[in-house]
Amino acid sequence: MGAWPPGPGHWAVFRHADVKHVLRGPAEFSSHLGAHPARTRVRAVIGRAVRRPNGIERAAEPVRMTSNLQNGLEGLTVRRRSVSRA
């Protein structure tokens, strides 16, 4: 792993082995040097909700998106396991 590039940014991890590596290396993979994308998104959504009438429903959008993503991933995992056992 090379040096952290200058300036703001983010990284995405997709492969299972990479996710395990990132989760086991908090000193190497940390958001302490910059903004945390999830927190920034939540603040932006809540800020818009406060300024808009009927905005409370909009404040729940990240929760719904996370729930939908989690349900989709769980479905993929179940399908993958059933195919692997065949």
- Over residues 22-59, the pLDDT tens digits come to 888 777 776 665 555 555 555 555 555 555 555 455 55
Domain that holds residue 70: 16-85
Residue 32: partners with Cβ closer than 8 Å, 6 or more residues away: none
**Within-domain flag for 62:** yes
Report residue 3's pLDDT band, with 50, 70 and 90 as the boundaries: low
Please state the pTM of the whole predicted model: 0.30
Q: Which residue has the higher pLDDT, 67 or 20?
A: 20
At 15, list the tokens: 């492969």
pLDDT of residue 22: 81
pLDDT of residue 47: 56
The total domain count for the chain is 1
**Within-domain flag for 1:** no
**Within-domain flag for 2:** no
The structure tokens 């994308």 sit at: 37
**Within-domain flag for 52:** yes
At 7, list the tokens: 């300036």
**Within-domain flag for 69:** yes
**Within-domain flag for 6:** no
Report residue 20's pLDDT band, with 50, 70 and 90 as the boundaries: confident
